Amino acid sequence: MESVLVSHAAIYIGLAVVFGLFMAWGIGANDVANAMGTSVGSKSLTFKQAVMIAAVFELAGAVLAGGEVTATIRKGIIDVSSLGSTPELLVYGMLASLLAAGIWLLVASRQGWPVSTTHSIVGAIVGFGAVGIGMDAVHWDKVGTIVGSWVSSPLLAGTISFLLFRSIQKLVIDTDNPVAMAKRYVPIYIFIVGFVIAMVTMVKGLKHVGISMDMNQNILVAAAVGVAIMLIGSAMIRRINIDPDADRDFHFTNMEKIFGVLMIFTAMAIAFAHGSNDVANAIGPVSAVVAIVQSAGEIASKSATPAWILWLGGGGIVLGLATYGHKVIATVGSGITELTPSRGFAATLGAAVTIVLASAIGLPISTTHTLVGGVLGVGLARGIGALNGDVIKTIFMSWIVTLPAGAGLAICFFFIFKGIFT
């Protein structure tokens, strides 16, 4: 059946690029808005500043550390060996998955629902795989692992965020002089952020550019980066204007200004972590289509994700945030619980650490679930009354609908493409 792939090669690759860009745009509008919601909601960053930080760090995460998860999305969910003489079915399926997930994200973003782009694309791939190829073609054990991570990732992020905020309460908020304590401890938190992100880049990202170091060297370099970022943060803190009158209405106004500096760095961390994990949702299927078409149907051959596809995904994500991200930012930033810079920091770093760990083992987890878990963890640290139950119920319902919505749309598009091209 090579003839179908060869004769329509340009069309397949063109559609993959267009649908991949559409999906990446949806991730930017929905998922990056989640990631930046805590920073904008806590008023640490303006919307424009959030877009600029996302532009740099989403792209960096996608290009430097996005390859591992892409392999899982591309080959880990469906057993491609069962296709044998009909590799074009995988092409139709991946195109259908991208279009289905992209449309669902557009609907959800329009409603302001923070849904999971990972749910959307995994549901779509499982849907077309089970119906279009056969139930046996789906790696159900791998799907089970991914589904399990949708529960474990918000729990882990919530726990880390809860403990981080508890540490802030103990070390800074519940002291006689919160401003002085914030000046003392915030640089240490900034060091942790710098160290975590540098460590991921060293361990995962530098492989792509051909640099390899042992673990001790990685730790040394990451620590040096952490110290450098800590010094930059400390210089920014020294420039803050502490106004004693500002604390009259809200006792912690000046302290929160200091945590506002920290939120800038955690926004960079979550953008990098998000780019490394969720870019795969858009470009995994694109790279699958490109690899099959370019090799005239050879599915089994191992192929690295081309750099231009990583750039395509990263660029689409930034575009989505800039043009349509404001609705979901409002939900995450102020709908679930009231966020201040210190609360936003705990939620964001908890989520970033969780996402980074998942990217390191190639597990496509949901950034949305992870970040909402982080925000819930911080809310719980303040007491259950600090959470908005109605908003949380709506978010959970939109999560449940996402899997069948992605699968159903993908099955429809799969048979449409199959009818058009064969």
> Tens of pLDDT along 243-276?
777 666 556 777 888 888 888 888 887 788 777 7
Are 399 and 369 in contact, with CB atoms under 8 Å apart?
A: yes
Rounded to an integer, the average pLDDT of 329-338 is: 60
Rounded to an integer, the average pLDDT of 48-73 is: 74
- Mean pLDDT comparison of 85-89, 100-104, 331-335, highest-scoring range: 100-104
Burial classification of residue 18, based on how many CB atoms lie within 10 Å of its CB (0-12 exposed, 13-18 middle, 19 or more buried): middle
DSSP 365-402: --HHHHHHHHHHHHHHHT-GGGS-HHHHHHHHHHHHHH
pLDDT of residue 188: 92
**Count of the separate structural domains present in the chain:** 1
Rounded distance between C-alpha atoms, residue 30 and residue 109, angstroms: 5
**Helix, strand or coil, per DSSP, at residue 168:** helix
Rounded distance between C-alpha atoms, residue 362 and residue 77, angstroms: 12
DSSP 204-271: TGGGTTT----HHHHHHHHHHHHHHHHHHHHHHHHT----GGGGTTSTTHHHHHHHHHHHHHHHHHHH
Among 40-49, 255-264, 271-280, 381-390, the least confident range: 381-390
- Whether pLDDT at 413 is above 90: yes
Whole-number mean pLDDT of the chain? Answer: 78
Rounded distance between C-alpha atoms, residue 288 and residue 266, angstroms: 33
**Helix, strand or coil, per DSSP, at residue 304:** coil
Percentage of the chain lying above the pLDDT 70 cut: 81
- Whether pLDDT at 205 is above 60: no
Residue 356: beta bridge partners?
A: none
Rounded distance between C-alpha atoms, residue 305 and residue 283, angstroms: 9
Domain assignment of residue 180, given as a range: 2-421
Rounded distance between C-alpha atoms, residue 287 and residue 85, angstroms: 20
pLDDT of residue 272: 80
Find, among 218, 209, 150, 194, the residue nearest to 358 by Cα.
150
pLDDT in tens, 91-118: 888 899 999 999 998 888 887 777 777 7
Tokens of 231: 């010094």
Residue 78: beta bridge partners?
A: 138
pLDDT of residue 74: 55
Burial classification of residue 185, based on how many CB atoms lie within 10 Å of its CB (0-12 exposed, 13-18 middle, 19 or more buried): middle
Q: In which band, very low, low, confident or very high, does the pLDDT at 301 lie, cut at 50, 70 and 90?
A: very low
